[in-house]
């Protein structure tokens, strides 16, 4: 059967791919957004079965900002990213497998932290990610140092660190950003403004009109984008990454989005004005917006997207099956590796057997 | 062998390590052209250049965090606290991030945080602190606090070569007052090993840093005036503590006085007392006693500071009490 374009020669050729991305890359962005959401939905199911340890922190409605920004990094060049709790999508883009994420939440012995820490507090310099800790803002100075090493060694590598609107209030954020600015480190700092830090709305977090206004105060470049438009996120981040790579120093980016779930699954969101969540869900869902754009403006068939979604569900099923086979940690491993030397902490006397 | 001051020994150790290993670099406030508040890093900028001697903004969290990030990538940063009193500004990132990162994320974090510590210098509440005990309680850190030039240089080299974070306390009272010979050539003093600073039979004084010298003075006086043979154990490393050396001196003299310049409550002497109780209780002929600073912020005026801090006469009096028990 002839193609539609062959039957209708008057149909204009497709416009150049937006943001300089190929058709495959555009679909890959959608894949990672669907992967993030589907994986989180699976985690919710496991959480409700009381099989998840610790909290479960959703990025529902924010998938575009994590995926679009991480997509602007170049793993082949050794770029390093530091994901915050709601940036699961960035880790997936950067090569972390769903089964690894599931093992983390299930606290298995073969998880990336061997059951020592939870959720996506994971780090692997070789694979280009350095996890955050619960003390918000701390990874800004740490990533300043990571990227300082790139600068000192004349490497063309770039670092990216995420903070939330809440973490911009910390001293660590200020000290780290200022240090990186003075040193002109190749660092991109993304402020993910999702409206709430736990229950505290942005208006009680800062008196600044917008977070990107702070860039001028640090003497760094600033950028701002609609965090629910994955291509806009990619473009603003790509510009910052390119600037950093050519020696232009730090960029502070604000991505405006909305946190549709609570701080974690236990959070009732009683503090959210009525109708607000529903409005974002119906009018500004990043996956829905991007799917519409792909099918209406970028020549992707709806069936391609539904096929992709089915493949992702299958992928998550297989990952869950694999993670469920993983054993819990061996308790004695708890004493291993506090230091390089000595290799293990001593067993305390009352566990060694008591003598008279 | 030439005599060198405690301060010069630290500077020499730093310079030799920077010479030996191009991944070693220094971060801190006013450490470059100015050479640091006490001139420990004087000359290093000219010798190693601004990429390896980096003046930072006033931001202890910022540059300690940056040191950790650089350490993850294979560098070996040495951070200077202008005064160790300011290490409290980096307490959170040191205890929560740096101390845990190997255990929970398997990331290497070889770095040193060093700085002028301690009193007897009329520095007042914010330029005289001994905050070592605040970090003793944090798994993942190591702490050293040398008393002699030889140990200052050798322990600094060991700290820089260690694959984890080491807090290196330097006593500013000793910087230019204490001179000593330093072994020729390259050497390191192993972390975790105490040193017998004076042999004795009747009583042991366990101490570290500036009070090693006060304990040695006291021991001289006790021998001269009382005929007492006093052993002085210089801990050198506080985390880990050298349990074997502590137990050995207890078994030798059966009477123990623990002396430190830090305040009494929650000080390291309490931990050492507990260990002696657990490991060598039956060897004691007297209760373990402590001489430490009074539990007040350290005041500046000479009369006040001298009153608060342990003095040689206090050690002598306490040792006499213990010997007579």
The H or E element containing residue A332 is none
Kindly state whether residues B220 and B155 are assigned to the same domain: no
Q: What pLDDT is recorded for position A6? A: 32
Which residues, 6 or more positions from B79, have their beta carbon under 8 angstroms from its beta carbon? Answer: B26, B27, B28, B63, B64, B67, B111, B112, B113, B114
Kindly state whether residues B163 and B115 are assigned to the same domain: yes
- Whether B324 has a pLDDT exceeding 50, the answer reads yes
For B29, nearest residue in chain A (alpha carbons): A179
Kindly state whether residues B176 and B203 are assigned to the same domain: no
Of the candidates B45, B16, B47, the residue with the CA atom closest to the CA atom of residue B33: B45
Total domain count for chain B?
2
What is the span of the domain harbouring residue B218? 195-323
The reply to whether B137 belongs to the active site is no
Kindly state whether residues B142 and B203 are assigned to the same domain: no
Of the candidates B29, B26, B212, B112, the residue with the CA atom closest to the CA atom of residue A148: B26
Per-residue CA distances from A96 to A38, A104, A128 (Å): 15, 12, 10
A146 and B57 within 8 Å at the Cβ level: the answer is no
Kindly state whether residues B40 and B162 are assigned to the same domain: yes
Kindly state whether residues B158 and B205 are assigned to the same domain: no
Q: What pLDDT is recorded for position A7? A: 30
What value does the mean pLDDT take over residues B129-141?
Answer: 97
Q: What pLDDT is recorded for position A355? A: 64
A141 and B70 within 8 Å at the Cβ level: the answer is no
Kindly state whether residues B199 and B174 are assigned to the same domain: no
pLDDT in tens, A81-98: 999 999 999 999 999 999
Domain-terminating residue out of B152, B181, B210: B181
Tell me the CATH architecture of domain A15-351: 3-Layer(aba) Sandwich (3.40)
Give the domain ranges of chain A. 15-351
Q: What are phi and psi of B76, to 5 degrees?
A: -125, 85
pLDDT in tens, A160-173: 999 999 999 999 99
What value does the mean pLDDT take over residues B55-80?
Answer: 98
What value does the mean pLDDT take over residues A231-256?
Answer: 97
- Whether A23 has a pLDDT exceeding 80, the answer reads yes
For residue A16, the 8-state DSSP code is P
Q: Are residues A254 and A210 in contact, defined by beta-carbon separation less than 8 angstroms?
A: yes
- Whether A19 has a pLDDT exceeding 90, the answer reads no
Q: Is residue B287 part of a domain?
A: yes
- Whether B233 has a pLDDT exceeding 80, the answer reads yes
Kindly state whether residues B161 and B218 are assigned to the same domain: no
Cα separation, A200 vs B246, in Å, equals: 52
Question: Percent helix, strand, coil in chain A (nearest 5)?
Answer: 50, 10, 40
CATH number, domain containing residue B259: 3.40.50.920
Q: Is residue B189 part of a domain?
A: no
Q: What pLDDT is recorded for position A356? A: 53
Kindly state whether residues B153 and B275 are assigned to the same domain: no
What value does the mean pLDDT take over residues B91-99?
Answer: 98
Cα separation, A336 vs B1, in Å, equals: 43
Average pLDDT score, chain A: 94
pLDDT in tens, A199-222: 999 999 999 999 999 999 999 999
Q: Is residue B186 part of a domain?
A: no
Kindly state whether residues B118 and B8 are assigned to the same domain: yes
What value does the mean pLDDT take over residues B219-244?
Answer: 98
ipTM, 2 decimals? 0.97
Cα separation, B260 vs B238, in Å, equals: 12
Distance from CA of A144 to the nearest CA of B (A): 5
Q: Is residue B188 part of a domain?
A: no
Q: Are residues B149 and B9 in contact, defined by beta-carbon separation less than 8 angstroms?
A: yes
For B141, nearest residue in chain A (alpha carbons): A339
Q: Is residue B213 part of a domain?
A: yes
Q: Quote the percentage of chain B above a pLDDT of 70.
A: 100
pLDDT in tens, B33-54: 999 999 999 999 999 999 999 9
Residue B282 contacts A, CB cutoff 8 Å: no
Neighbours of B134 (CB within 10 A): 17
Residue A178 contacts B, CB cutoff 8 Å: yes
Q: What pLDDT is recorded for position A12? A: 43
Residue A5: pLDDT band with limits 50, 70, 90:
very low
What value does the mean pLDDT take over residues A215-237?
Answer: 97
- The 3-class secondary structure across B72-124, one letter per residue, is HCCCEEEEECCCHHHHHHHHHHHHHHHCCHHHHHCCCCCCEEEEEECCCCCCC
In the block, which residue shows the tokens 């070592």? B132
pLDDT in tens, A52-74: 999 999 999 999 999 999 999 99
- Whether B128 has a pLDDT exceeding 50, the answer reads yes
For B94, nearest residue in chain A (alpha carbons): A138
Kindly state whether residues B239 and B109 are assigned to the same domain: no
Cα separation, A339 vs A322, in Å, equals: 31
Kindly state whether residues B201 and B163 are assigned to the same domain: no
Domain-terminating residue out of B181, B214, B231: B181
Q: Is residue B187 part of a domain?
A: no
A135 and B108 within 8 Å at the Cβ level: the answer is no
Residue A11: pLDDT band with limits 50, 70, 90:
very low
Residue B164: pLDDT band with limits 50, 70, 90:
very high
What value does the mean pLDDT take over residues B244-253?
Answer: 98
Q: Are residues A231 and A201 in contact, defined by beta-carbon separation less than 8 angstroms?
A: no
pLDDT in tens, B265-318: 999 999 999 999 999 999 999 999 999 999 999 999 999 999 999 999 999 999
Interface of B with A in 7-26 (CB under 8 A): 25
Domain-terminating residue out of B154, B181, B208: B181
């Amino acid at each position: 059967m002839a193609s539609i374009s062959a039957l209708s020669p008057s149909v204009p050729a497709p416009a150049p791919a937006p943001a300089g991305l190929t058709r495959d890359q555009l679909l890959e962005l959608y894949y990672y957004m669907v992967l993030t959401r589907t994986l989180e939905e699976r985690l919710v199911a496991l959480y409700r079965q009381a099989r998840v340890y610790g909290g479960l922190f959703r990025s529902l409605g924010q998938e575009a900002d994590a995926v679009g920004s991480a997509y602007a990094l170049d793993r082949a060049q050794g770029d390093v990213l530091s994901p915050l709790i709601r940036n699961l999508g960035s880790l997936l883009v950067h090569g972390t497998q769903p089964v690894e994420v599931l093992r983390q939440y299930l606290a298995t012995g073969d998880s990336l932290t061997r059951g020592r820490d939870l959720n996506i507090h994971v780090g692997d310099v070789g694979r280009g990610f350095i996890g955050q800790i619960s003390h918000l803002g701390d990874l800004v100075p740490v990533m300043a140092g990571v990227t300082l090493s790139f600068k000192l060694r004349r490497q063309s590598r770039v670092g990216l660190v995420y903070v939330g609107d809440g973490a911009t209030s910390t001293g660590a954020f200020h000290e780290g950003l200022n240090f990186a600015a003075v040193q002109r480190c190749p660092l991109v700092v993304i402020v993910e403004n999702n409206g709430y830090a736990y229950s505290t709305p942005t208006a009680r977090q800062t008196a600044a009109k917008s977070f990107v206004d702070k860039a001028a105060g640090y003497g760094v470049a600033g950028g701002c984008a609609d965090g629910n438009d994955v291509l806009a996120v990619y473009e603003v981040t790509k510009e910052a990454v390119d600037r950093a790579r050519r020696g232009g120093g730090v960029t502070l980016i604000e991505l405006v989005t909305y946190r549709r779930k609570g701080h974690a699954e236990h959070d009732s969101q009683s503090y959210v004005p009525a109708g607000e969540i529903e409005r974002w869900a119906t009018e500004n869902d990043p996956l829905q917006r991007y799917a519409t754009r792909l099918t209406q403006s970028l020549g992707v068939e709806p069936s391609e997207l539904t096929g992709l979604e089915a493949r992702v569900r299958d992928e998550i099923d297989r990952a869950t099956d694999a993670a469920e086979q993983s054993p819990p940690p061996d308790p004695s491993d708890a004493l291993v590796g506090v230091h390089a030397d000595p290799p293990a902490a001593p067993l305390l006397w009352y566990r060694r057997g008591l003598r008279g | 062998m030439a005599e060198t001051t405690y301060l010069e020994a630290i500077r020499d150790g730093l310079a030799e390590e920077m010479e030996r290993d191009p991944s070693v670099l220094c971060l801190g406030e006013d450490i470059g052209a100015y050479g640091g508040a006490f001139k420990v890093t004087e000359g290093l900028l000219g010798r190693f250049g601004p990429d390896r001697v980096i003046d930072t903004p006033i931001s202890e969290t910022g540059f300690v965090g940056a040191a950790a990030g650089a350490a993850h990538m294979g560098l070996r940063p040495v951070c200077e606290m202008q005064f160790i009193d300011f290490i409290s500004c980096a307490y959170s990132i040191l205890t929560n991030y740096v101390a845990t990162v190997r255990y929970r994320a398997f990331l290497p974090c070889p770095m040193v945080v060093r700085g002028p510590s301690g009193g007897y210098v009329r520095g007042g509440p914010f330029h005289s602190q001994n905050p070592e005990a605040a970090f003793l309680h944090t798994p993942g850190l190591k702490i050293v606090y040398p008393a002699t030039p030889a140990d200052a240089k050798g322990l600094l080299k060991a700290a820089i070569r260690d694959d984890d974070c080491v807090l290196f306390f330097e006593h500013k009272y000793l910087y230019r007052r204490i001179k000593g010979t330093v072994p020729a050539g390259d050497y390191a003093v192993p972390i975790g090993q105490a040193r017998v600073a004076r042999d004795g039979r009747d009583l042991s004084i366990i101490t570290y840093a500036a009070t090693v010298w006060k304990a040695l003075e006291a021991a001289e006086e006790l021998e001269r005036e009382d005929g007492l043979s006093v052993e002085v154990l210089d801990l050198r490393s506080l985390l880990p503590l050298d349990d074997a050396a502590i137990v050995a001196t207890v078994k030798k003299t059966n009477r123990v006085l623990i002396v430190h310049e830090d305040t009494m409550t929650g000080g390291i002497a309490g931990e050492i007392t507990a260990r002696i109780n657990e490991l060598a209780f039956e060897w004691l002929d007297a209760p373990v006693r402590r001489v430490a600073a009074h539990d007040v912020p350290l005041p500046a005026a000479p009369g006040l500071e001298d009153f608060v801090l342990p003095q040689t006469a206090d050690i002598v009096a306490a040792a006499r009490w213990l010997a007579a028990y």
